[in-house]
Amino acid sequence: MFERDDETTVERVIQHLRRPVAIDAGLDARVMQAIAKAPPQRRRVRPLWPLLAAAAVLAAVLIARPWTRSVPKADTLQFVLIAPQAASVALVGDFNDWDPARAPMQTAHGVWATMVRLEPGRYRYAFLVNGVEWRADPSAPAAKDDEFGTPSSVVTVGGRGS
């Protein structure tokens, strides 16, 4: 099961460790809340107005960003399709207006992948291969209501972060 050649082993370890690791996006909110409490040290004088301005900016950021006090947690998922013969693969679904231009996938050795950040919800999606062929995701639940005659899959983000 494990490679016999040690050098290859270390190279595989390196490849494994180099893979992206997605951190909980709620971290952004926690950082922003922490810094709102204590502006940068270089400010010696603390008039009220800059603090109010900062608070307003922070409020705007919190409202505009998906992570808010109301907890629903987005998730980042990886989508993969093995298609060694394909010239192009696009991920299309409810999260990107079914627009093939929005999520072209990257390939290495016939394996196509991309990462998408999703707000809580249930999303139908599919892979569009070479711009013409529709494929469902073999590793995901099937979307049964397939009213347009092509296969689709489903991915769900629950919203509770786990």
Longest Cα–Cα distance of the chain, Å, equals 66
CA–CA gap between residue 103 and residue 127 (Å, rounded): 10
Confirm or reject binding of residue 45 to other proteins (CB under 8 A).
no
Stretch 51-70 residues interacting with other proteins (CB under 8 A): 53-54, 57-58, 60-61, 65
Nearest distance in Å: CB 114, other proteins: 11
Confirm or reject binding of residue 48 to other proteins (CB under 8 A).
no
Angle between helices 48-64 and 26-37 (to 10 degrees): 170
Give burial (CB, 10 Å; 0-12/13-18/19+) of 152: buried
Confirm or reject binding of residue 147 to other proteins (CB under 8 A).
yes
Contact residue for other proteins among 17, 45, 48, 87 (CB under 8 A): 17
Nearest distance in Å: CB 87, other proteins: 18
Contact residue for other proteins among 45, 47, 85, 162 (CB under 8 A): 162
Stretch 84-123 residues interacting with other proteins (CB under 8 A): 92, 94, 96-100, 102, 108-109, 111, 113, 115, 119-122
